[in-house]
Amino acid sequence: MHDAMLPSDEWQSPRVHWHAFAEIRDRCTPPPRDRAGYRRREPDEVLRDPWAVASWIDGQTRQHVTRREVWAAHGREWVAIGDEDDLEHLRHENFGIASRGDSIHTDIYTDSTHHDLIVEAVTNDHCPLGCAAETAS
């Protein structure tokens, strides 16, 4: 479907799919660190290709991100985050990461919470839940 746009096809060789989790924690709670635990848990969603990974993260991000400007010390300028250009950049970056068959762990800060987005890459051979990826065409 989007194969012509893939920066890499590494995800297809080991037949990777992704287990996606969205969790909310308060700002005082440290981020989750148990990657093995995520592989044993039932995911919120199973994602079959890099475009699905990028789209899922984009959808989750849009629910919680607020457009604002932050001071970028290295560029000595104000930079917009959460606007359409920023979200498009993140979508392409996540697409590239997933196309290599990698996991993505990110979070979104709000005034009172963190929204952790965990997309854990799992090969068909190592999926403990039996939700193996569809055969790549």
pLDDT at 115: 83
Indicate the Cα dihedral angle 32, 35, 41, 42, nearest 10°: 90
Q: Kindly state whether residue 6 falls inside one of the protein's structural domains.
A: no
Strand, helix or coil for residue 8: coil
Cα 74 to Cα 68, 82, 83, 90, 127, distances in angstroms: 18, 19, 20, 19, 42
Q: Does the residue 136 lie in any domain?
A: no
Determine the pLDDT at residue 129.
83
Asked if residue 117 is part of any domain, the answer here is yes
Residue 79's pLDDT is what?
56
Domain that holds residue 113: 14-126
- The answer to whether position 115 is within a domain reads yes
Does residue 1 lie in a domain region? no
Q: What is the number of alpha carbons within 13 Å of residue 26 lying toward its C-beta? A: 2
Q: What is the DSSP letter of 62?
A: H
Q: Is residue 131 one of the residues assigned to a domain?
A: no
Q: How many domains are contained in the chain?
A: 1
Q: What is the residue-level pLDDT of the chain in tens, covering all 137 positions? A: 444 455 667 666 678 999 999 988 887 777 777 766 777 789 999 999 999 999 999 998 888 766 555 546 667 665 555 567 777 888 899 999 999 999 999 888 777 778 888 999 998 888 888 886 454 43
The single-letter DSSP state of residue 6 is -
Answer yes or no: is 122 within a domain: yes
Q: For residue 132, what pLDDT is reported?
A: 67
pTM: 0.75
Q: Examine residue 82 and state whether it is found in any structural domain, yes or no.
A: yes
